[in-house]
Amino acid sequence: MDIPLAMLFFYNASFSMAFFSGVSANSMLAEAYEQGTINKKELICSNLFNSLPTYFLHLPTMFFITVPIIKGAAFIYVGITLLAAVLRTMVTLLAGRLMLPVRIYDGHHVQNVDGKSIQEALRLTWSSFRRRIKKIICFTVPVYTVIFFIQRGGGFSLLEEFMATHISFLSWLHPQSLGIIVLHIAAEFTAGLAVAGALLDSGAMGYREVVLALLVGNVLSSPVRAVRHQLPYYTGIFPAKIAVELILYNQTFRLVSLVVVSLAYYSIF
């Protein structure tokens, strides 16, 4: 049987796990890559494809935070970000079909583990855990420590302030949108959300303007969030070079999809 994506041998488990834990799903991909089950291109495609279940993992939190504050605009904002996630998934499937080599599955490519005893399975699990914990100690802890000191030293605040003060190119937005965007970049998502809710309640802005401001803030704040939150745990799972590449692919793909969907929404509505 022809399998256009070789990663499908093990990918069902990784994809399913991503609905509950992105770290666990990425760990499965890292193990498969280290064992030679998948190559680098297949690793990248698998990681990008996991963005959809990872989105659903965070969807309840985002939804129940946005609805009480911006009310009906929350459905539009969440719908647009969901559409961007679906778009990324479709493009990843198409890219995988065109770029990855077709492999023939003859029933012998999947390792048969039925005959292993419980003791052997536990031994293999413990061995895998020891390798993974060493990476966490050697990479994740130092990276988190460095980022902590950068945060305490005001490094991220300076970067966010720089980004917030160089957004004159967004003059096409509603003037009061800039307050939402600046707080989205300089603080956290909920800070910009609070301002958006206040402007909605006062009637100063409508749903369309609020949604566009939140989308722009989402796009502009993504690089800082990636370095602050994604880099530490990626370096604990994947080799450092691979981790940086995956983050770049993830963030670039995410930003492009958000921009495309946002432009479509802006043009239509």
Domain boundaries, the chain: 2-105+130-268
Structure tokens at 92: 């990843």
For the chain, the farthest-separated pair of C-alpha atoms sits apart, in whole angstroms, at: 68
Q: Is the pLDDT of residue 107 over 60?
A: no
- pLDDT tens readout for residues 191-204: 778 888 888 888 88
121 phi and psi, to 5 degrees?
-65, -40
Half-sphere exposure of 51 toward its Cβ, with a 13 Å CA cutoff? 28
The answer to whether 143 and 232 have CB atoms below 8 angstroms apart is yes
pLDDT class of 178 with cuts at 50, 70, 90 = confident
Phi-psi region of 117 (alpha: psi -120 to 50; beta: other; left: phi over 0): beta
pTM: 0.73
Structure tokens at 198: 């206040």
Q: Is the pLDDT of residue 127 over 90?
A: no
Beta bridge partners of 2: 104
Give the distance, in angstroms, between the CA of residue 172 and the centroid of all CA atoms in the same chain. 28
Position with higher pLDDT, 83 vs 220: 83
Helix (H, G, I), strand (E, B) or coil at 2: strand
- pLDDT tens readout for residues 57-70: 888 888 888 988 88
Q: Quick one: which of 144, 181, 143 has its CA closest to 164?
A: 181
- pLDDT tens readout for residues 65-103: 898 888 899 999 999 999 999 999 999 888 877 877 655
Q: Is the pLDDT of residue 7 over 50?
A: no
Helices marked H in 115-239:
118-135, 141-152, 155-164, 177-186, 189-202, 207-225, 231-237
The answer to whether 212 and 266 have CB atoms below 8 angstroms apart is yes
pLDDT class of 123 with cuts at 50, 70, 90 = low
Q: Which of 9-18, 43-52, 91-100 has the lowest mean pLDDT?
A: 9-18
139 by Cβ neighbours in 10 Å (0-12 / 13-18 / 19+) ranks as buried
